[in-house]
Amino acid sequence: MDTIFDIYLLEALINGLLFGGVLALLSLGLNLIFGVVDVVWICYAEVVMFGMYAIFWLHGVYDLPIVLAALLAIIGTGAMGFLVHFLVISPILGSAPINQLLATGGLLFFLQSFATLLWGIEFRNIGLRLPVLQWGELFFSYARLLAFGIAVIGMAAIYLFLTRTYMGTAIRAISQDREIMTLMGVDSRKVYLVTSVVGGSLAGLAASLLVLQYDVHPFVGLSFGPITFVICVMGGLGNMVGGFIAAFILSEVISIGGFYAELEWGYVAAFVLFIIVMFIRPEGILGKKS
Amino acid sequence: MFSSHLKRASFGLAAAGILAAASIGAQAQQKEIKIGVIYDYTGPLAAGGSSLQALGAKIVIDYFNSQGGVEGYKINAIYADAQSKPDVAINEAVRLIEQENVDMLLGFYSSAQCVPVSAKVDALKKFMWITTCISPAVLKDRNLKYVFRAQPHGGLFGLQSPEFLAHYAKDRLGIEPGDLKVAIIHEDGAYGSGVAGGNKAGAKQQGFKVVLKEGYSATAPDLSSLVTKLKRARPDVILHTGYNPDITLFLRQARELGLRFKALVGHGAGYGVPDKLFDAFGKDANHIFNVDPVSIWLVSPEVLEPGLPDITRMVGEQYRKAEPDTKEFSAHVGMAASNSYVFFSDVLPRAIKKYGGIDADSLRQAALETDIPVGGTLMGYGVKFNPPEHEMAGQNDRASPVIVQYIDNKAHIVWPKALQSLDPVLPLPKDSPYAK
């Protein structure tokens, strides 16, 4: 037990990996939207929160099967993605980036307050207790394993969508040069809308997995919003593979740091690493130099 | 001619009389004490217990108003939302004092808010009546003149659990107190740190081995490293202080990662809302202990002064009316109700009658003279504030928390022995997923 490498360190490593899955899934949608629409949805975690509420009501209260509830939540947050783009982003697409940031920031407070108004401040959970997975001395979180698996599948699916479909190709083309594609007859508004819907749906997917592990309340986004944003920036805003890598690096630093020192030091180490990366590569790990 | 003059004069006189009477009446009607009531109605702390505390205070304020106020003063309460943020709490306190011209402030759930707000309010020479926040740091060595707290302080919370464990260690756990391994984990704000400080001092007093003591942020999205470290440290008992989302996250991850212990003792806040614990964990929440001021509904009416059991009943009825879905009454509502009741039934009348007003100095003088014996409050404990030269001036010296154990969403008092309504179930029964 006094050796540096012990079974608990292995557990911390695995925990970090699985937590990375959760963070990677969260960063996927945010990165996609930024990569294409070039607007940062500061309120992304709040869209996830609405997805979590949807599952809570559909499964926890109206007793729909969890998978169906999750599917409906994904459709719901997809629709929300559409609305956010149509009502908030679209009118300010040409404005200065700071205005766009302020608008989505304002939307964050609006969504938090709106959720408080609709559902109150109660912490709610679906009361689902998943089985415990044990392998010798090691224990795994079922929900996290699921999140990890789905994050990997989600990443692969998005990759295939972007490389193998016409719409995916259009999305990539727009993200490379938005002006020229419009001249070539691509309807950029449609591409933006599709991207926002896909991004919103990914928030719903993340919500389906988070709701298995976390209580839902109007401020649940505060626990995830900042770290998701940091991951996206560290990976290279708009770069999904970069975000994926950054998610796992940060989660391991948090987990191992928190294992060797106090939990909070894990976060300190993660943010110090973030600052260092920003100094060395301001565009992020895989970001393109602008 | 003369008679018409006389008539006119008498008419004028009568009118003046009526006007004067009306103005006196109006003055009598306008006599009011304006109180700023600050709790968290939104944000994570709201569901952690703050909104229930706010409800308790409001029930008591409404009750006194329905009885015609206090000594002719109507209570004009202005409710403000601290939004679970210390900076908002400070801004709201200053706004209420400077713009709304309130005579005093009442409330405060979060210690992180209490610490800065109490200093600010004291500097502004306004009276502040704390119903809830427990951190010793609010009053300790600060020599505040106008801040009073009827609630027991966090240091006592922290000391209570080791005392309880030392009593039962050998008998129930088969471990000598000197060999008992405890872990102290806490949210790292003023509240958690204050209680954990008491835990540490108590553990030292009782000779326990503290195998881990660690703080974490209440909004941390992951506590699995902490759980892993606890597994490695193998404590017999975990002493935990936290709010709500972090407590459920911890218990969920502890279960998933196979953390085992013989007992878990919570210290208020999130652990004070059993409905939430049982919603999230069902039977797994059974046998958790919680250190908190006693729930007024668990206090035996016989030990209270006459009249007080009726108030307890009234608070329960109003609580049920406001929150019809409540299964088990939360101690939070009763706590704020009891501590507010002390102010309106004891301090305020004395300030008005003996010191002639509701200014901060009159209220302070009245509070310093408070001398309520055991059984004189809804929570059963007495009230006597530490004098100005005391290191914790303004703290109620007669308050202490109790320990309850939850079984099937019912709270039973297990400590101190004098108030015990259940022989504590210790260690955790084998059917608990956390049982060692």
Query: Is B20 within a domain?
Result: no
| Whether residues B274 and B159 fall in one domain | yes
| Whether residues B196 and B271 fall in one domain | yes
Q: Flag whether residue B226 sits within 8 Å of chain A, measured between CB atoms.
A: yes
Host domain of residue B250: 155-292+401-419
Q: Flag whether residue B41 sits within 8 Å of chain A, measured between CB atoms.
A: yes
**Chain B residues near residue A12 by CB distance under 8 angstroms:** 224-225, 228
Q: Radius of gyration of chain B from Cα atoms?
A: 25
Q: What is the pLDDT of residues A90-118, one digit of tens each?
A: 999 888 888 888 999 999 999 999 999 99
Q: Flag whether residue A134 sits within 8 Å of chain B, measured between CB atoms.
A: yes
pLDDT at B150: 95
Residues B155 and B136: beta-carbon distance below 8 Å: yes
- In this structure, what token pair is assigned to residue A29? 């949608």
What sections of B297-373 are H helices per DSSP? Answer: 308-322, 331-342, 348-355, 360-368
Domain count, chain B: 2
Q: Closest-CA residue in chain B for A6?
A: B232
| Whether residues B35 and B126 fall in one domain | yes
| Whether residues B190 and B325 fall in one domain | no
B79 phi and psi angles, rounded to 5 deg: -90, 135
Query: Is B358 within a domain?
Result: yes
- In this structure, what token pair is assigned to residue A115? 């959720």
Q: Mean pLDDT, chain B, as a whole number?
A: 90
pTM here? 0.83
Query: Is B388 within a domain?
Result: no
Q: Which residue, among A111, A119, A147, A101, has the nearest Cα to A57 in the 3D structure?
A: A119
**Chain B residues near residue A212 by CB distance under 8 angstroms:** none
**Chain A residues near residue B184 by CB distance under 8 angstroms:** none
Q: What is the pLDDT of residues B328-377, one digit of tens each?
A: 888 899 999 999 999 999 999 999 999 989 999 999 999 999 999 988 99
Q: How far apart are CA A265 and CA A248, in angstroms?
A: 17
Q: How far apart are CA A95 and CA A113, in angstroms?
A: 26
Q: How far apart are CA A255 and CA A253, in angstroms?
A: 5
Query: Is B381 within a domain?
Result: no
CATH number for domain A7-133+141-280, candidates 1.20.272, 1.10.150, 1.10.3470, 1.10.3210: 1.10.3470
Query: Is B387 within a domain?
Result: no
Count CA within 13 A, CB hemisphere, residue B220. Answer: 33
Q: Flag whether residue B229 sits within 8 Å of chain A, measured between CB atoms.
A: yes
Q: What is the pLDDT of residues B138-195, one digit of tens each?
A: 999 999 999 999 999 988 899 999 999 999 999 999 999 999 999 999 999 888 999 9
Beta-carbon contacts of B325 under 8 Å, excluding residues fewer than 6 positions away, are: none
Domain at B139, CATH number = 3.40.50.2300
pLDDT at B188: 92
Q: What burial letters (b/e) apply to B89-122, b meaning 16+ CB within 10 Å?
A: bbbbbeebbeeeebbbbbbbbbbbbbbbbbebbb
Are A214 and B249 a contacting pair at CB < 8 A?
A: yes
Query: Is B412 within a domain?
Result: yes
| Whether residues B34 and B132 fall in one domain | yes
Q: In angstroms, what CA-CA distances link A110 with A81, A96, B364?
A: 15, 21, 42
Beta-carbon contacts of B242 under 8 Å, excluding residues fewer than 6 positions away, are: B185, B186, B187, B192, B218, B250, B266, B269, B270, B271
**Chain A residues near residue B224 by CB distance under 8 angstroms:** 12, 15, 19, 141, 255
Span B56-77, mean pLDDT?
Answer: 96
Are B256 and A140 a contacting pair at CB < 8 A?
A: yes
Q: Flag whether residue A217 sits within 8 Å of chain B, measured between CB atoms.
A: yes
| Whether residues B80 and B147 fall in one domain | yes
| Whether residues B125 and B77 fall in one domain | yes
| Whether residues B234 and B343 fall in one domain | no
Q: What is the pLDDT of residues B249-305, one digit of tens each?
A: 999 999 999 999 999 999 988 898 888 889 888 899 999 999 998 889 988 888 899
| Whether residues B243 and B314 fall in one domain | no
Q: Where are the beta strands (DSSP E) in chain A?
A: 133-135, 138-140
Are B225 and A227 a contacting pair at CB < 8 A?
A: no
Q: Which among B223, B248, B255 has CB closest to A132?
A: B255
| Whether residues B169 and B278 fall in one domain | yes
Ramachandran quadrant class, B356 (left: phi over 0; alpha: psi -120 to 50; beta: rest)? left
pLDDT at A5: 58
Instruction: Give the three-class secondary structure for B310.
Output: helix
Q: Flag whether residue B432 sits within 8 Å of chain A, measured between CB atoms.
A: no
| Whether residues B85 and B168 fall in one domain | no
Q: Flag whether residue B225 sits within 8 Å of chain A, measured between CB atoms.
A: yes
**Chain A residues near residue B284 by CB distance under 8 angstroms:** 129
Query: Is B64 within a domain?
Result: yes
Asked whether residue B25 carries a pLDDT value surpassing 80, the answer given is no
The sheet with strand B127-130 has its strands ordered as: B74-81, B32-39, B104-107, B127-130, B147-149
| Whether residues B310 and B265 fall in one domain | no
Instruction: Give the three-class secondary structure for B79.
Output: strand
Q: Which among B219, B229, B279 has CB closest to A223?
A: B219
Span B59-76, mean pLDDT?
Answer: 95
Query: Is B429 within a domain?
Result: no
Q: Mean pLDDT, chain A, as a whole number?
A: 89
Domain end point (choices B327, B349, B368):
B368
- pLDDT band at A177; cut points 50, 70, 90: confident
ipTM of the modeled complex: 0.89
Q: Flag whether residue A265 sits within 8 Å of chain B, measured between CB atoms.
A: no
**Chain A residues near residue B229 by CB distance under 8 angstroms:** 8, 259
For residue B416, cis peptide bond before it (omega within 30 degrees of 0)? yes
Q: What is the pLDDT of residues A222-278, one digit of tens each?
A: 889 989 999 999 998 888 889 989 999 999 999 999 999 988 899 999 999 999 999
